């Protein structure tokens, strides 16, 4: 096998592997637990994730990802950084 074919094959395998990493379904902010929220939202730790769950319990399900910014300590920039990882189902 030529070096060019080997390189092409290696590149194709790399793309296949990376696709599964980046193509994960967004997490549902209305059903996720604190650990999952903390992992999915950049800049949010377990305490802030617990605050998101408390807000959700008091006010009902989020109608959109943007509503996360209503939670104290979660700003629009935080939401924007992780928007692609989140969904309000």
Residue 62 · residue 29 · CB < 8 Å: yes
Give the structural domain span for 61. 25-87
Number of structural domains found in the chain: 1
pLDDT of residue 18: 52
Please report whether residue 2 resides in a domain.
no
The per-residue pLDDT string of the chain (89 residues; one tens digit each, 9 = 90 and over) reads 566 566 666 666 666 665 444 557 999 999 999 999 999 999 999 999 999 999 999 999 999 999 999 999 999 999 999 999 999 99
CATH number for the domain spanning 77: value is: 1.10.150.280
Please report whether residue 13 resides in a domain.
no
Please report whether residue 14 resides in a domain.
no
| Closest C-alpha to 24, from 13, 10, 39 | 39
How far apart (Å, rounded) are the C-alpha atoms in residues 52 and 64? 13
pLDDT of residue 11: 65
How far apart (Å, rounded) are the C-alpha atoms in residues 34 and 49? 5
The pTM of this model reads 0.73
């Amino acid at each position: 096998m030529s070096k060019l074919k080997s390189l092409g094959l290696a590149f194709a395998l790399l793309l296949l592997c990376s696709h599964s990493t980046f193509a994960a379904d967004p997490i549902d902010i209305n059903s996720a637990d604190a650990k999952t929220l903390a992992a999915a939202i950049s800049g949010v730790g377990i305490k802030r994730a617990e605050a998101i769950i408390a807000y959700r319990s008091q006010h009902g399900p989020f109608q959109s990802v943007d509503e996360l910014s209503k939670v104290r300590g979660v700003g629009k920039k935080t939401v924007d950084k992780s928007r692609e990882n989140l969904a309000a189902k």
